[in-house]
């Protein structure tokens, strides 16, 4: 079977100008970055027509290999093009750092990929570098302010703004500096996160335009005074210069699928301490340019779809017209109790049937937002007809339609049935769509609502210290913010080994963090890692240019 | 008088495709980055014709405001175009970090600028971001190697490879990390430099192609074992992946002057701990595409021109065919004893005459390389005819020709006389060109030669510890390396207040550093700063987008 990179190298890319023309982007709005990437100048686009239909692709709880949300998004988009629908795909940009760790690639797979995958996975159009620069400019200006007299009276122990690099570098997680005496500044404890964990990434992805971006950057809380009053980015006077650094990064990036259909790849916030969706700007730009917009949200539907609707849609005034829930035989087997090492050991209909409780739970959850999802069975060559049949049967039993999709092997042609069904559903729309909770519910209740309604927790433990913190933020005017849950993606519970459809479990909120610029309160219910490390043998050791100058080892 | 940014905004830029056509870059070799920037794919260029003539622009010892080397390079290049000469300009790329400190702009001035200045001064084509990523990948892989067992037995106290950011951030100069216990690694002292100080910047600018780049990256010494034996980048297995990160950065960047003439801006190493010239690749590419190539070297001729010839030309097999030495009335007055605050207080012919000893010394020095420089008097509107006349008279007395240049006010038209003279000199060539010292001179003698011949030191103090270190490097095979001097740019001596033409002064070599990948030994004779700080009121506070989305405050 050919690898992703082999398939990608056999593909013929079209010049980005041709892809742009297909997407309806006029030449004067196209800002090329090399021959196959471009940014789109939104100010130079033709006047908007009626907005298109928004289709969200989400998934059941995945195996560690992932269940193919991106691949299915690409396949569905290509299939919609094949059946004559004017479509735009909106995905996240992958992060550079992790490519040097375990594996690269956030660009789909098989015959459903976005291209050029090497450039997308490396520097791309420089968006993440711009975020790194903007983030670290603020960091430098904070320490510089303290150095020159600290007239804002920032408490050195309470500086919450750290630094970022787009690199898996565990040695930077926790540092002490500046050392070296008077000329370097006042020592304090601090550290680095990976760039995708920066609040600026979340801000860039939620901002509606440059003005809103600057306003949100100004709203960032960089730390606190001794009396615990907050100090804002705008007190440091960094927000306008940060906006200048981000003025190109805010424009959506245009690339193409293997079938030469247009795709926006823009933004890539963490799906735990942030909301895990591509940018609002890309989605909204796509909606005025195409009749159908296919997008995805990170992790399983319990995290990704919930955040898509409760954070992104709520803030941006968006609503999904149809939802696709990706399931695989492999993930259902795992949710049905089969150990990871035995997932490819042949047919196991009973395990699939047992694991379908996970599928059922996700269907129920998505329905709580007023939409019945369509189940996309992302086909793997080892799947048997009997296993597929049981998924279809179970989906129907749970009130949803399931379609087998072979876009990995066959590209858009393998997802045409899905495309027909989803287009019809999107055309019908989702008049009953509503987020899970209203804006004016107290923050603690919002957390509890997600835990009970989506995770099916029997009890939710929020310590009095955390409750006090939430209360304080409500008094400061942050009570209308949605909550952004950080927990494992492998289970509805906070225990990654509790597969299937656990219920009546306990969720403990260990910590809450305020992302005042992004506009949400992060509730942490599990270990979260904001600066990954490299493994013993990092994939970087294998990444190289071959004798033809082609990149090997990145994928 | 209009400001640089006002002049720049009145200019009409041509699409980079038109600029490329003028430079002889065919479409298939053009990799656009937006509408007005591009990289040039050297593999897609037409076969080389006879190489052009190389013209170096250097300067006398400058005032803190600089004497206009870049502006003169731009003006001369535009003037050569005006008199019908096929010319390419080769400059360095400016660094992002310092733009947020005191002033931005490494893009010329007045009517002699390269464009688009805002993009050039911000992320440009991402070269410096790529260098930051490659540098920090190696850093992460070093700590990761130590974390997983340190089989190379790197001495934690002797890791010399630090991290970099393209940001003025004094708080990162000296840090301790990783803290936080077992999962983060082994604490040690380290720190960050600014990206332009990275050895990778020097390597990128001296490499002849991708293979040479990877070889040089592999040659980097990242630290030492307890027995003081060196550990190389290639022992960490980082060099191939670093090369992948730099594969686009190695291609020259094409932009245009205000008069729409082509310019390569590529690479920007420090002029103290590195050699301060644009890339060898850009210069060599320009030489096969144009009949005349105008380039510059950082700081005054005592540092910049010496390094250009002894490091860049020596390594790359280049030689200058003509040299332009920029002088200003202002700098001669300062070298003649006028305090900084009084430099614009009206005519002072005697001070100019007194300061001409500095000009004389530079002329003598340049002649030691076998070339008589042409003096470009970079005209300032306060200069009087009598002041200009005395410079011309003195230059002639010292055996050189001086030409008044008004390219700041008039663009290329203001430098036509210079262009005619320099083109004629370049056509005649420099058959007597030779570097200052041979490859096989011992390292300590090379240092002493530069100090005595160029700086005119009466004594050169090299401690026995430093001599032992140099000896050791010679035994390790680094004896053929040229030396790269790090000292103040304001004086021939190591004391920035000793203006004019000091002699018989003492130079003390405090420290030597080996840049085994770049291929030189740095000899430090003064304070050098590899991570600048921000001032009390950083220019970042004034940088913003105006109501039309134009950048204000950057220049």
Which residue in B232, B299, B398, B473 is the catalytic one? Answer: B299
Q: Which residues of A touch B174 (CB under 8 A)?
A: 177-180, 184
User: CA-CA distance, A211 to A213, in Å (whole number)?
Assistant: 5
Q: What is the DSSP pairing of strand B38-40 with strand B253-257?
A: antiparallel
Q: In sequence order, what E strands does B66-153 have?
A: 87-91, 108-109, 112-115
Query: Backbone phi, then psi, for B82, in 5-degree steps?
Result: -65, -35
The arithmetic mean of pLDDT across residues A532-547, rounded, is 95
In this structure, the number of other CB atoms found within 10 A of the CB of residue B439 comes to: 11
The verdict on whether residue A336 carries a ligand-binding annotation is no
The verdict on whether residue A500 carries a ligand-binding annotation is no
**Nearest by CB to B177, which of A34, A176, A541?**
A176
**Nearest by CB to A544, which of B130, B184, B244?**
B244
Q: Which residues of A touch B139 (CB under 8 A)?
A: 169, 171
CA distance A475 to chain B (A): 31
The arithmetic mean of pLDDT across residues A47-56, rounded, is 90
The arithmetic mean of pLDDT across residues B220-234, rounded, is 97
Q: Which residues of B touch A191 (CB under 8 A)?
A: 177
B543 and A240 in contact by Cβ < 8 A? yes
The C-alpha angle with vertex A533 and arms to B203 and A303, in degrees rounded to 5, equals 125
The verdict on whether residue A65 carries a ligand-binding annotation is yes
Per-residue model confidence (pLDDT) at position A103: 65
A171 and B177 in contact by Cβ < 8 A? yes
Write the CA distances from A20 to A3, A35, A391, A395, B29, integer angstroms: 28, 12, 39, 38, 21
Residue B277 has which token pair?
């010239």
What is the 3 state secondary structure string of A37-104?
A: CEEECHHHCCCCCCCCEEEEEEECCCCCCCCCHHHHHHHHHHHHHHCCCCEEEEECCCCCHHHHCCCC
Q: How confident is the model at residue A3 (pLDDT cuts 50, 70, 90)?
A: confident
Per-residue model confidence (pLDDT) at position B105: 64
The verdict on whether residue B84 carries a ligand-binding annotation is no
User: CA-CA distance, A195 to A477, in Å (whole number)?
Assistant: 28
Per-residue model confidence (pLDDT) at position A56: 98
Helix or strand or coil: residue B344? coil
A241 and B35 in contact by Cβ < 8 A? no
The full set of domains in chain B, from first to last, is 4-46+54-125+249-428 (3.40.50.300), 128-246 (3.30.1510.10), 443-525 (3.10.410.10)
Q: What is the pTM of this model?
A: 0.97
Instruction: Provide CB contacts within 8 A for A154, sequence distance 6+.
Output: A142, A145, A146, A222, A223, A224, A225, A231
Residue B111 has which token pair?
């009517």
The arithmetic mean of pLDDT across residues B532-551, rounded, is 94
User: CA-CA distance, B323 to B314, in Å (whole number)?
Assistant: 16
User: CA-CA distance, B442 to B241, in Å (whole number)?
Assistant: 35
pLDDT at B104 over 80: no
Q: Which residues of B touch A173 (CB under 8 A)?
A: 177-178, 180, 184
B540 and A129 in contact by Cβ < 8 A? no
Q: Which residues of B touch A172 (CB under 8 A)?
A: 163, 177-178
Q: Which residues of A touch B34 (CB under 8 A)?
A: 31-33, 39
Q: What is the dihedral of CA A73, A76, A80, A83, to 10 degrees?
A: 170
Residue B547 has which token pair?
């109501």
Taking only the tens place, the pLDDT of each residue in B243-266 is 999 999 999 999 999 999 999 999
A140 and B167 in contact by Cβ < 8 A? yes
- Specify the higher pLDDT residue, A302 or A47: A302
**Nearest by CB to B543, which of A147, A244, A549?**
A244
Least reliable range by pLDDT among A63-77, A132-146, B151-165, B506-520: A63-77
Residue A383: DSSP 8-state: -
A241 and B544 in contact by Cβ < 8 A? yes
User: CA-CA distance, A103 to A86, in Å (whole number)?
Assistant: 33
Catalytic residue set of A: 69, 71, 92, 103, 271, 299, 380, 408
**Nearest by CB to B133, which of A96, A171, A545?**
A96
Per-residue model confidence (pLDDT) at position B365: 97
- Provide the CB-side half-sphere exposure for B459 (13 A, CA): 5
Task: Please check whether residue B166 is in contact with residue B194, taking contact to mean a CB–CB distance below 8 angstroms.
Answer: yes
Residue B494: DSSP 8-state: S
Taking only the tens place, the pLDDT of each residue in B150-167 is 999 999 999 999 999 999
CA distance A237 to chain B (A): 5
B141 and A238 in contact by Cβ < 8 A? no
B172 and A173 in contact by Cβ < 8 A? no
User: What residue of B is the nearest CA neighbor of A245?
Assistant: B122
Q: How big is chain A by its Cα radius of gyration, in Å?
A: 23
Which of A487-491, B58-62, B211-215 shows the highest mean pLDDT? B211-215
Query: Backbone phi, then psi, for B135, in 5-degree steps?
Result: -60, -50
Per-residue model confidence (pLDDT) at position B288: 94
Taking only the tens place, the pLDDT of each residue in B333-382 is 999 999 988 988 899 999 999 999 999 999 999 999 999 999 999 999 99
Which residue in B103, B170, B226, B480 is the catalytic one? Answer: B103
In this structure, the number of other CB atoms found within 10 A of the CB of residue B335 comes to: 27
pLDDT at B453 over 80: yes
User: CA-CA distance, A555 to A116, in Å (whole number)?
Assistant: 12
Q: How confident is the model at residue A67 (pLDDT cuts 50, 70, 90)?
A: confident
A543 and B244 in contact by Cβ < 8 A? yes
Query: Backbone phi, then psi, for B488, in 5-degree steps?
Result: -60, 145
CA distance B264 to chain A (A): 17
Q: How many A×B Cβ pairs under 8 Å? A: 219
Taking only the tens place, the pLDDT of each residue in A187-198 is 999 999 999 999
The arithmetic mean of pLDDT across residues A88-107, rounded, is 87
Q: Which residues of A touch B100 (CB under 8 A)?
A: 137, 140-141, 241
Judge whether B103 counts as a catalytic residue. Answer: yes
Which residue in B134, B197, B271, B316 is the catalytic one? Answer: B271
CA distance A177 to chain B (A): 5
Share of chain A above pLDDT 90, in %: 91
Q: How confident is the model at residue B103 (pLDDT cuts 50, 70, 90)?
A: low
**Nearest by CB to A540, which of B214, B238, B248?**
B238
How would you class A189 by CB atoms within 10 Å of its CB: exposed for 0-12, middle for 13-18, buried for 19 or more? middle
How big, in percent rounded to 5, are the helix, strand and coil portions of chain B? 40, 20, 40
Per-residue model confidence (pLDDT) at position A104: 59
B176 and A175 in contact by Cβ < 8 A? yes
Residues in a beta bridge with B402:
B375
The verdict on whether residue A66 carries a ligand-binding annotation is yes
Query: Backbone phi, then psi, for B514, in 5-degree steps?
Result: -100, 120
Per-residue model confidence (pLDDT) at position B183: 96
B96 and A136 in contact by Cβ < 8 A? no
Query: Backbone phi, then psi, for B29, in 5-degree steps?
Result: -100, 0
User: CA-CA distance, B199 to B374, in Å (whole number)?
Assistant: 33
The verdict on whether residue A384 carries a ligand-binding annotation is no
Taking only the tens place, the pLDDT of each residue in B284-321 is 999 999 999 999 998 999 999 999 999 999 999 999 99
B140 and A168 in contact by Cβ < 8 A? yes
User: CA-CA distance, A464 to A462, in Å (whole number)?
Assistant: 7
CA distance A151 to chain B (A): 11
Taking only the tens place, the pLDDT of each residue in A228-239 is 999 999 999 999
Residue A192 has which token pair?
């680095």
Share of chain B above pLDDT 70, in %: 99
Q: Which residues of A touch B148 (CB under 8 A)?
A: 536
The arithmetic mean of pLDDT across residues A111-128, rounded, is 95
Across chain A, what does the average pLDDT equal? Answer: 95
pLDDT at B76 over 90: yes
Q: Of B1, B72, B113, B83, whose CA–CA distance to B373 is shortest? A: B72
Write the CA distances from B378 to A414, A505, B18, B76, B317, integer angstroms: 69, 78, 30, 11, 31
Share of chain A above pLDDT 70, in %: 99
Query: Backbone phi, then psi, for B522, in 5-degree steps?
Result: -85, 130
């Amino acid at each position: 079977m050919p690898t992703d990179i082999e398939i990608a190298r056999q593909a013929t890319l079209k010049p980005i100008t041709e892809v742009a023309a297909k997407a309806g982007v006029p030449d004067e709005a196209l800002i090329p970055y090399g021959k196959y990437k471009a940014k789109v100048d939104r100010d130079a686009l033709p006047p908007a027509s009626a907005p298109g239909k928004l289709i969200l692709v989400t998934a059941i709880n995945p195996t560690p290999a992932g269940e193919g949300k991106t691949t299915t998004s690409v396949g569905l988009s290509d299939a919609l093009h094949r059946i004559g629908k004017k479509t735009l795909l909106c995905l996240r940009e992958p992060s550079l750092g992790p490519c040097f760790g375990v594996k690269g690639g956030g660009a789909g797979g098989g015959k459903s990929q976005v291209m050029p995958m090497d450039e997308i996975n490396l520097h791309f159009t420089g968006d993440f570098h711009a975020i790194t620069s903007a983030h670290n400019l603020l960091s430098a200006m904070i320490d510089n302010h303290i150095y020159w007299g600290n007239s804002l009276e920032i408490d050195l122990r309470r500086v919450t703004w750290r630094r970022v690099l787009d690199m898996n570098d565990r040695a930077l997680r926790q540092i002490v500096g500046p050392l070296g005496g008077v000329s370097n500044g006042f020592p304090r404890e601090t550290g680095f996160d990976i760039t995708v964990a920066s609040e600026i990434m979340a801000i860039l992805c939620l901002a509606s335009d440059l003005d809103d971006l600057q306003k949100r950057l100004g709203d960032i809380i960089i730390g606190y005074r001794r009396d615990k009053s907050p100090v804002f980015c705008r007190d440091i006077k960094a927000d306008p210069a940060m906006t200048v650094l981000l003025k190109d990064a805010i424009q959506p990036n245009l690339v193409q699928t293997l079938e030469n259909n247009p795709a926006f790849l823009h933004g890539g916030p963490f799906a735990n301490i942030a909301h895990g969706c591509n940018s609002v700007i890309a989605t909204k730009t796509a909606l005025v340019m195409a009749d159908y917009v296919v997008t995805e949200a990170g992790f399983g539907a319990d995290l990704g779809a919930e955040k898509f609707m409760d954070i992104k849609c709520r803030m941006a005034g968006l609503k999904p017209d149809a939802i696709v829930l990706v399931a695989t035989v492999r993930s259902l087997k795992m949710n049905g109790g089969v150990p990871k090492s035995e997932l490819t050991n042949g047919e196991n209909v009973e395990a699939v049937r047992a694991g379908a409780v996970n599928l059922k739970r996700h269907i129920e959850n998505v329905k709580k937002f007023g939409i019945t999802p369509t189940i996309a069975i992302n086909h793997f060559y080892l799947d048997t007809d009997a296993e597929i049949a049981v998924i279809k049967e179970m989906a129907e039993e749970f009130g949803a339609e399931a379609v087998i999709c072979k876009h990995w092997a066959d590209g858009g042609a393998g997802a045409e049935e899905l495309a027909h069904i989803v287009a019809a559903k999107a055309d019908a729309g989702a008049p009953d769509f509503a987020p899970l909770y209203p804006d004016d519910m107290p923050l603690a209740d919002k957390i509890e609502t997600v835990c009970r309604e989506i995770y099916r927790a029997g009890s939710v433990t929020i310590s009095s210290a955390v409750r006090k913190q939430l209360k304080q933020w409500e008094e400061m005017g942050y009570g209308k913010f949605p909550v952004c849950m950080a927990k494992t993606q492998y289970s509805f519970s906070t225990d990654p080994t509790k597969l299937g459809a656990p219920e009546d479990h306990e969720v403990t909120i260990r910590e809450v963090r305020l992302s005042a610029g992004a506009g949400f309160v992060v509730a942490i219910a599990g270990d979260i890692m904001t600066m990954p490390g490299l493994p013993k043998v990092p994939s970087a050791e294998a990444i190289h240019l071959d004798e033809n100058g082609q990149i090997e080892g990145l994928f």
